[in-house]
Chain A
Amino acid sequence: MFSAITFLAILPEILILVVAMLILVVEPFWKAEQRRNVGWLTAGGLFAVMIISLLFARPGDPTTVLGGMVRFDWLGFFFKMLFLFAGAATSLLLMDNEKVGHRGEAYLLLLASLLGMNLMASSADLVMLYLAIETTSIPLYILSGFMLADDNSTEAGFKYLLFGAMSSAVMLYGFSLLFGFAGTTNIYELASAIAAGPNTLVMALGVIFLLLVGLGFKVSVVPFHFWAPDVYQGAPTPVAGFLSTASKAAGFAVLVRLFFVAFPAFSQPWTMIFAVLATVTMTVGNLLALPQTNIKRLLAFSSIAHAGYVMIGVVSFSLLGATSVVFYLAAYIVTNLLAFGIVMAVSRIIGSDDIKDYSGLSRRNPGLALMMLAAFLSLAGMPPFGGFVAKVFVFAAGIQAGYVWLVVVGIVNSIVGVYYYLNVMKYVYLYRMPNEDEEKHPVPLTRPYAIALVVLAIGVLLVGTLFAPWFSWSDTAAMNLF
């Protein structure tokens, strides 16, 4: 049973565990002031995992291994690489967050959650899927509430836990109903089992609704988004960045696999539901982002809105739709990590997340301001940054599938987005500090920030200009769904 392919299929997960073990062994021997270096170890380890997996563990034809539990295909693999990248960047960003990053446990929890995400992206069975989702979520609950002395962080952790536990219980109920109707828990056998069984629309709608509660919570789609702004605001900033990128992408990986593979027979009703959800999500996210004065809350609502744009690709239910979803998530992960990384680097110096305290940033650190410009313009969907191409692909998929109205909604929403993203940049570039003495208040970057942010900024630019390779990888990944 344990052939080479089985081993290769879960090689990234195994290696993540190795890194985690290494941290467990090494960390107690280090002095307290050295513990920050666990971040280097984690980032370097994850980077090495990525390289090794890319070199040796690339999937061939899709196969199902480990007794039907894990699917070894490009879709899962592409997402795994994205998660590893996001994990490495997050651990660099954690390092100089004194309350979190100077403790080895934080990195360990990050790795545990990363392990869960990797399994989420590749699980082919509902049982495996549920375990993976819980493995992802529980460490994130702890990480969100990591700063014990901070009431906001404690509140964030607890809120996230309650919402998460509730919605995953509902989803589990959905899984059990699905098993009851289809007689199998394997995602790849569900479609034929459903087709053969006594399928009724009511049953399908009920199951789809229950699944949506759980997955909608993960990807923060309106109306399951209420946790996001509070949790992002309270959680340590790098953790919030991780939540809004990797965790959301993992949710979408599961969402596309489950709905594209298991429910093609009911594509009519669920695309309809998703189209409505996408509309509501984009609109609510963008409109509520408008009045925000806290940058983390603004980014939280913006990330809700972005989930809505991704949904346009899901709604299209086509090869290009799936490709655009994967591409959008890749561009979005890089962009939003950059945005959160900058927020972290800035708040560490100025001790505030209020947008008005960003006044004069372009004079305090021109390079950082420039990277922030790149991140926000990419979020707004402007070239030559990743967000532009990603949006065009999603809109193209929408129009191809005949959802012109949905694309128009998306476009109106991105106009709203342009407004509030540029508004932040106005503080950064135009307004000045109260005494106009920015030279005396520099915002220096420590080495981990500098490395992580520059890599991410270059990534944003690369995805936006040389998009052909990213697109063809997304395309390969998406082809595994059909």
Chain B
Amino acid sequence: MNFPVLSVITFTPMAAAAIILLMPAGKKNEIRGVALAAATFALLLSFWVYFSYDASAAGYQFVEKYNWLPVLGISLHFGVDGMSTPLVLLTGVVMFTGVLISWGAYDEHQHLSAGIQDRPREFFAFLFILASGVFGVFVSLDLFMLFFFYEIAVFPMYLLIVIWGWIQTREYAAMKLTLYLFIGSVVSLVGALAMYWTNFQNTGVLTFDMTLLENAGFSQAFQYIWFLPVFLGFAVLGGIWPFHNWSPDGHVAAPTAVSMFHAGVLMKLGAFAALRVGIMLLPEGAKQWSWLIMIFAGVAVVYGAYIAFVQMDLKYMIGFSSVSHMGLVMLGFSTLNRAGLTGAGVQMFSHGVMTALFFAITGMIYDRSHTRQIPELGGMSRIMPFATIGFIVGGLVSMGMPGFSGFVAEFPIFMGVWGAQWLVAVIASISIVITAAYIMRNIRQVFFAKMPEKLEGHMTDVTVLDKVAIVTLCAFMIVIGLYPGIMVPLVSSGVEHILTLLGGA
């Protein structure tokens, strides 16, 4: 048997969390060191998976299967396809950069409260348990294990936000987020159990294996009933309108690294699970209901952008822009055609990196200025040129400028939507204009306007570790933008399989 790379990736953060918890709380730098080492290791392995995935062969690769509870057909079945491989890499990247910007040890600027100063041991342990859950969902081919990891990814969020979050809203936001996500996931769970028993009635085989359930041939009526609960239950985490309400509150209350994880990876978790369990296992249901998903997603795209436009708080602005961009992902799903799904796959990666970068830079600014109100900020380009360039790159991606990954993702989505329903494409494209407006207004005010007197002299440049994080994240967006061939064939190999399940639409 080959090297079980997927299970190593999945359990590395978990093992690191256990090691970190066993270390004495006082050894903060050693704890951070272990965290960084584990994150680097997971990143390198996910790079390796990404580049050795054979897009021409397609299908599930790096497959591992261990019987877990054969009586009920539960197995630890791991494998990645063209859709999930980029997301594994995304998780590795966000985990790595998240550790860097949470480092929080500043010898030369003692007054700075950046990063995580309070109880870093617990912080990194919970963050890594979360990361394990995320990896687990992306690589699971077993429905039971998918839920198992999905819930593992949900509960550390509560602790991370409530302990290290923004003091004003953290208790409210953390509970709201947890309840929304938990409700969503258990609604999907009922649907999954219904699939499990129906498959048993049809075939006489007890299995949670999704590669088998894909061919279960559920009846039209069954798919029609269960598609919506399953899809929407997961899509809650994907931030779909009208269940997006938890998301901006959660983003704002969370500490920087958790915001990055939350918007960068967790929302993809919802979208991905909705695709994998909703669309891929219940394709007929997806065809029946795609119009409703399209409406929800279309509203999310335009409404999210508009709300982002009127926000004065930097983090709320990015939070709502995430709702808008994740709406594009859902819009891509709802087309059920090749262009739309491919675009959605790339958008998941592109938006993950972009929003992680936005939140990282916002966190750097907030740690130094102690305000996120856009009118109270200004002139940052003078103090932190590096962060300024990073934010501009992120902004260009967000607007969908050619040459950046945002274009590679959004163009096919709009193409796909036009093919499915041209009116929706026209309406959704309004969001591009609004996005450009708020991004540019924001860059002008925060980075180039005159710095308020209050902040003068209190601002310092970002640290070396922050710069490493910014460069890493920017590199992905530019490389994919200039050379889409590095990701698009991979994603389309995954899309082919989905189209086969949909009956070659």
Q: B183 and A415: CB pair below 8 A?
A: yes
Size bin of chain A's contact surface: 35 or more
The stretch of B154-162, B241-249, B490-498 in contact with A is B154-162
List A residues 355-382 near B (Cβ within 8 Å): 362-363, 366, 370, 373, 377, 380, 382
Does A426 belong to the interface (CB within 8 Å)?
yes
Does A454 belong to the interface (CB within 8 Å)?
no
Q: List 28 A-B contacts (CB under 8 A).
A: A370-B21, A382-B152, A382-B155, A384-B152, A392-B147, A395-B189, A396-B72, A399-B190, A399-B194, A399-B197, A400-B197, A408-B190, A411-B186, A411-B187, A411-B190, A415-B183, A418-B178, A422-B178, A426-B162, A426-B171, A429-B162, A430-B162, A467-B68, A467-B69, A468-B68, A468-B69, A471-B71, A475-B71
List A residues 373-405 near B (Cβ within 8 Å): 373, 377, 380, 382-384, 388, 392, 395-396, 399-400, 404
Q: Which residue, B151, B187, B194, has most C-beta atoms of chain A within 10 A?
A: B151
Determine the chain B residues whose CB is within 8 A of the CB of A373 once the complex forms.
159
Does A7 belong to the interface (CB within 8 Å)?
no
List B residues 31-69 near A (Cβ within 8 Å): 67-69
Does B374 belong to the interface (CB within 8 Å)?
no
Does A293 belong to the interface (CB within 8 Å)?
no
Q: A366 and B122: CB pair below 8 A?
A: yes
Which applies to chain B's interface (DSSP): helix, strand, loop or mixed? helix
Does B179 belong to the interface (CB within 8 Å)?
yes
Does A69 belong to the interface (CB within 8 Å)?
no
* Alpha-carbon separation in the docked complex, A396 to B190 (Å): 8
Does A419 belong to the interface (CB within 8 Å)?
yes
Does A186 belong to the interface (CB within 8 Å)?
no
Mark B89-124 against chain A: 1 for CB-CB distance below 8 A, else 0. 000000000000000000000000000000101100
Mark A406-418 against chain B: 1 for CB-CB distance below 8 A, else 0. 0110010011001
Mark B132-167 against chain A: 1 for CB-CB distance below 8 A, else 0. 000000000000100111011011001100110000
List A residues 87-110 near B (Cβ within 8 Å): none
Does B25 belong to the interface (CB within 8 Å)?
yes
Which applies to chain A's interface (DSSP): helix, strand, loop or mixed? helix
Q: B196 and A396: CB pair below 8 A?
A: yes
Question: Which single member of A382, A408, A471 contacts B69 (CB below 8 Å)?
Answer: A471
B residues neighboring A (CB under 8 Å): 21, 25, 67-72, 119, 121-122, 144, 147-149, 151-152, 154-155, 158-159, 162-163, 170-171, 175, 178-179, 182-183, 186-187, 189-190, 193-194, 196-197
CB distance from A291 to the nearest CB of B (A): 16
Determine the chain B residues whose CB is within 8 A of the CB of A422 once the complex forms.
158, 175, 178
Known: A377-B155, A395-B189. A472 touches B71 (CB 8 A): yes
Determine the chain A residues whose CB is within 8 A of the CB of B186 once the complex forms.
411, 414-415
Q: A383 and B151: CB pair below 8 A?
A: yes
* Alpha-carbon separation in the docked complex, A425 to B161 (Å): 13
* Alpha-carbon separation in the docked complex, A232 to B170 (Å): 33
Q: A382 and B151: CB pair below 8 A?
A: yes
* Alpha-carbon separation in the docked complex, A383 to B133 (Å): 10
Q: B71 and A395: CB pair below 8 A?
A: no
Determine the chain A residues whose CB is within 8 A of the CB of B71 once the complex forms.
471-472, 475
CB distance from A176 to the nearest CB of B (A): 41
* Alpha-carbon separation in the docked complex, A396 to B149 (Å): 18
Determine the chain B residues whose CB is within 8 A of the CB of A475 once the complex forms.
71
Question: Which single member of B154, B162, B178, B190 contacts A404 (CB below 8 Å)?
Answer: B190
Q: B21 and A388: CB pair below 8 A?
A: no
* Alpha-carbon separation in the docked complex, A423 to B175 (Å): 9
By beta carbon, the residue of chain B nearest A400 is B197
Q: A419 and B179: CB pair below 8 A?
A: yes
Q: A418 and B182: CB pair below 8 A?
A: yes
Q: B159 and A425: CB pair below 8 A?
A: yes
Which 5 pairs between the two chains have the least Cβ-Cβ distance? A411-B186, A468-B69, A399-B193, A382-B155, A383-B148
By beta carbon, the residue of chain B nearest A366 is B25
Determine the chain A residues whose CB is within 8 A of the CB of B25 once the complex forms.
366
Known: A382-B151, A383-B152, A399-B193. A392 touches B144 (CB 8 A): yes
* Alpha-carbon separation in the docked complex, A425 to B197 (Å): 36
Determine the chain B residues whose CB is within 8 A of the CB of A377 once the complex forms.
155
Q: A395 and B171: CB pair below 8 A?
A: no
List A residues 438-482 near B (Cβ within 8 Å): 467-468, 471-472, 475
* Alpha-carbon separation in the docked complex, A388 to B186 (Å): 11
Q: A395 and B193: CB pair below 8 A?
A: yes
* Alpha-carbon separation in the docked complex, A430 to B158 (Å): 11
Determine the chain A residues whose CB is within 8 A of the CB of B197 once the complex forms.
396, 399-400
Known: A382-B155, A415-B182, A418-B182. A395 touches B190 (CB 8 A): yes
Determine the chain A residues whose CB is within 8 A of the CB of B119 once the complex forms.
362-363
Q: A429 and B159: CB pair below 8 A?
A: yes
* Alpha-carbon separation in the docked complex, A468 to B187 (Å): 25
* Alpha-carbon separation in the docked complex, A63 to B151 (Å): 43
By beta carbon, the residue of chain B nearest A467 is B69
* Alpha-carbon separation in the docked complex, A395 to B74 (Å): 16
Q: B155 and A430: CB pair below 8 A?
A: no
CB distance from A317 to the nearest CB of B (A): 16
Known: A388-B148, A425-B159, A471-B71. A407 touches B182 (CB 8 A): no
Determine the chain B residues whose CB is within 8 A of the CB of A399 once the complex forms.
190, 193-194, 197
Determine the chain B residues whose CB is within 8 A of the CB of A363 once the complex forms.
119
Q: B122 and A362: CB pair below 8 A?
A: yes
Q: Which residue, A414, A415, A418, A472, has most C-beta atoms of chain B within 10 A?
A: A418
Determine the chain A residues whose CB is within 8 A of the CB of B194 once the complex forms.
399, 404
CB distance from A160 to the nearest CB of B (A): 35
Q: B179 and A418: CB pair below 8 A?
A: yes
Question: Which single member of A380, A384, A418, A471 contacts B148 (CB below 8 Å)?
Answer: A384
CB distance from B258 to the nearest CB of A (A): 14
* Alpha-carbon separation in the docked complex, A388 to B144 (Å): 11
CB distance from B242 to the nearest CB of A (A): 19
Determine the chain A residues whose CB is within 8 A of the CB of B152 once the complex forms.
382-384
Determine the chain A residues whose CB is within 8 A of the CB of B175 once the complex forms.
419, 422-423
Determine the chain A residues whose CB is within 8 A of the CB of B151 once the complex forms.
382-383, 388
Known: A377-B155, A404-B190, A418-B178. A430 touches B148 (CB 8 A): no
Known: A366-B122, A471-B71. A392 touches B162 (CB 8 A): no
* Alpha-carbon separation in the docked complex, A290 to B97 (Å): 39
By beta carbon, the residue of chain A nearest B144 is A392
8 new A-B contacts, CB < 8 A, other than A380-B155, A419-B175, are A382-B151, A382-B155, A383-B151, A392-B147, A396-B196, A415-B183, A429-B163, A471-B72
By beta carbon, the residue of chain B nearest A389 is B148
By beta carbon, the residue of chain A nearest B121 is A366
* Alpha-carbon separation in the docked complex, A380 to B185 (Å): 14
* Alpha-carbon separation in the docked complex, A426 to B71 (Å): 39
Determine the chain A residues whose CB is within 8 A of the CB of B159 once the complex forms.
373, 425, 429
CB distance from B55 to the nearest CB of A (A): 33
By beta carbon, the residue of chain B nearest A422 is B158
Determine the chain B residues whose CB is within 8 A of the CB of A382 once the complex forms.
151-152, 154-155
By beta carbon, the residue of chain B nearest A410 is B186
* Alpha-carbon separation in the docked complex, A36 to B403 (Å): 75
By beta carbon, the residue of chain A nearest B200 is A400
Determine the chain B residues whose CB is within 8 A of the CB of A383 once the complex forms.
148-149, 151-152
* Alpha-carbon separation in the docked complex, A270 to B22 (Å): 50
By beta carbon, the residue of chain A nearest B14 is A384
By beta carbon, the residue of chain A nearest B196 is A396
By beta carbon, the residue of chain A nearest B162 is A430
By beta carbon, the residue of chain B nearest A323 is B71
* Alpha-carbon separation in the docked complex, A167 to B151 (Å): 41
CB distance from B73 to the nearest CB of A (A): 11
